């Protein structure tokens, strides 16, 4: 597992110098199959195809997380981010305000699942995996 590549990519995403899909491609190159970002614990966990796990602090301020999960707002934020209208560092507080407490990126499954505090979810397919 190449922890340096993972850490560099995370920092570049927060600095808005690497896109989500570029980060995913980087993770594929180092054998990752999925990762989770948790806004409550401020931890990120990266899982390799060889069942290795790398858990690290998620270097972002503590976010207030709404009790209610607003799926439409999460979907709106994803679209705004995809279209370049919202930076990653703005995307995170937006989805937390919409009730997202964590999200998991399934690289091999080509989707992201956003989770609410009550178990509500929103599933977003990677752009190249979407049906038109």
Is the pLDDT higher at 102 or at 16?
102
Residue 59 CA to residue 39 CA, distance in Å, equals: 10
Name the strand (E) or helix (H) holding 7.
helix 3-14
Q: Determine phi and psi for 94, rounding to 5 degrees.
A: -65, -50
Residue-averaged pLDDT of the chain: 92
At residue 132 the predicted structure's pLDDT band, cuts being 50, 70 and 90, is very low
Residue 77 CA to residue 111 CA, distance in Å, equals: 15
pLDDT over 90 percentage in the chain: 76
SS3 110: coil
pLDDT computed for residue 111 by the predictor:
97
pLDDT computed for residue 129 by the predictor:
54
Residue 121 burial by CB count (10 A; 0-12/13-18/19+): exposed, middle or buried? middle
């Amino acid at each position: 597992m190449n922890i340096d590549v993972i850490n560099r990519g995370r920092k570049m995403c927060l600095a808005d110098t690497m896109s989500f899909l570029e980060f995913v491609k980087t993770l594929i190159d180092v054998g990752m199959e999925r990762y989770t970002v948790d806004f409550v614990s401020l931890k990120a966990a990266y899982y390799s195809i060889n069942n290795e796990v790398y858990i690290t602090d998620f270097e972002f301020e503590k976010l207030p997380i709404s009790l209610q999960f607003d799926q439409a707002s999460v979907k709106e934020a994803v679209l705004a981010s995809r279209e370049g209208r919202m930076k990653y560092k703005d995307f995170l507080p937006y989805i937390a305000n919409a009730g997202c407490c964590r999200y998991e990126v399934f690289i091999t499954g080509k989707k992201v699942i956003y989770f609410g505090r009550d178990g509500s979810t929103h599933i977003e397919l990677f752009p190249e995996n979407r049906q038109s």
